[in-house]
Amino acid sequence: MSRRRQFAEPGEPLSPTAFYILLSLRSQERHGYDILKKVRDASAGKINLGPGTLYTTLKRLLEAGVVVEVGDRPTADQGDPRRRYYRLSDRGHRDLAAEVRRMERALVLARAAQLEPSA
């Protein structure tokens, strides 16, 4: 599956990058640098995004309607007003939940495979 088509159909498996970005936005709106830090922390440093990867993926998520840019910027005393903030759309919440269910099913299958005697 091409990266462009990844978000064309709801329910398609997410790349690790997209998964962690959506996970970082699950509970609150975030700006780019905050997303980078959350992804690094949540993945225990296994996924260390650069700005190019982050913003390319965010662009695709925005185009697919999985993520939306927040229109209201914080005031100057709440942070840099030039920053763009993002949040999950309703579809983003559904896609993230579907991906977690897909991962849970895969984990059940993997565990069952380890318990089966080898042929």
> 46 is written with which tokens?
């296994």
Whether the full predicted model's pTM is greater than 0.95, yes or no, is: no
pLDDT at residue 68 in the model: 97
Q: Does 23 have pLDDT greater than 90?
A: yes
Query: Which residue ranges form the domains of the chain, and what is each CATH number?
Result: 16-69+83-115 (1.10.10.10)
Q: Does 119 have pLDDT greater than 90?
A: no
How confident is residue 42, by pLDDT bands cut at 50, 70 and 90? very high
pLDDT in tens, 51-106: 999 999 999 999 999 999 997 655 555 666 678 999 999 999 999 999 999 999 99
